[in-house]
Amino acid sequence: MAKVSISEAARLTGKSRTTLHRLIKTGELSTCSGVRNAKMIDISELIRVFGEVSTPVAEQANGQVTEQRVTPSDALNEQVFRTLKQEVEHLRMLVSAQESHIDSLKQSLQLLEHKKYAEQPISPSGKWWQFWK
């Protein structure tokens, strides 16, 4: 399989270079020598240690990756965009419904408070200033 540099292996696995160096030092990840004795990691070794990895698009003759990852197609981007747009619209409708429900609850509360004050009888007995006692 193809061999990649430690930096590229970090991009493919989503791990940091420090993590890869630590795994190499402990022997959990094996390396081989590349051009000018640079440490290279076989992609099959990355799959063995980390499971599925991002696949490179193109490889050079010596096996080094020239591009990082396959980017999603425009059709997939468009589909995700439409889905997110629909979700945003749905959430806006939910917020609008919640706001109208809150408004109706406020009106009900005002009616209840009005009835409470309207039901308090004024004592007709006595003088008119005794109303405030």
Residues in the chain with pLDDT < 70?
A: 1, 55-72, 116-133
Does the domain spanning 1-71 belong to CATH 1.20.120?
no
Q: How far apart are CA 28 and CA 39, in angstroms?
A: 15
pLDDT tens-digit readout, 75-98: 788 888 889 999 999 999 999 999
Burial of 63 (0-12, 13-18, 19+ CB in 10 A): middle
Segments making up each domain of the chain, as ranges: 1-71, 74-119
pLDDT the model gives residue 90 = 93
- The model's pTM is 0.41
pLDDT the model gives residue 61 = 47
Consecutive H or E run containing 54: none
pLDDT the model gives residue 60 = 45
